[in-house]
Structure 1
């Protein structure tokens, strides 16, 4: 992609910043706008409304810097805004990762990434793991063919779990029969029949 000029980037950056600071107007457009800012890397260099050139090396600096030189937001706010949009969430995770030229022993490298790295079972952590270890399933998630959780189960990174209603033994049995193979149902019955 051909880099856009800082002046052209300013339109995107100002629209995104304005949308984040608004109290509801245009919130549905924010994930798409954020995606465009990240895809075009408009955040790296743009001109403020006062005509000042602003340049950022790291996306997190762009996010946290006060308006109009940045968004004046938090990483968590952006994650909340894009939580339902897996493509934009994945782009956000990529933008927040340490640039390849930053080393772990740099003064600021680890400190800045402590609060922005996803962990555990978050959707963002799942997308990162799939992107790294199963790009085929990662592509299926971004294309909307699989959920992040389903792809993680399919890859063997998470165990498949089911909900079993406990309102009655019959309801529990039906849920188990729907979700387990017949051999597994027999083994479960055997284990349940064993005396402790």
Structure 2
């Protein structure tokens, strides 16, 4: 699953997030301890800033190579758009900047299923290691708040889209789905 995030695109710039899947296992990276934001936290498989002159898709291509050693042709041929997550979160200690601000976020979600022989490997110094985890391991890490704040909605959206979280097993299902798809109180653009 990949997500393209545009935090108030006209005001704050753009970022990309990306999850690579093997069946119902998810490649989860641990961020390097030296990073200024969210050091040592778990992340989506690939994340990075979208340059002004590129599309989210092109950003996925180069970030997947730079951070996870995924070949361009594999990503171009197999990544699939799956919708968007829109939500509000509070700025905090790991994200840098001022504390306690409400930050709108838009994450365009993509899935990328990879074969058994594909292994994500750090290629730059932003990722300490990659782990191939099953759904329960990801859930447990989410509950322990080991992921970056903006990764939780992406993982939860994945669980909803793949029938892992349903109205039958989650009493707050409708509230969760609604919070993943909020109407944001800021102007948004498609670029």
TM-score (norm 2): 0.23
Structure with greater proportional helix content: 1
The one of the two structures with greater contact order (alpha-carbon pairs below 8 A, sep at least 6) is 2
Structure with greater proportional strand content: 2
TM-score (norm 1): 0.23
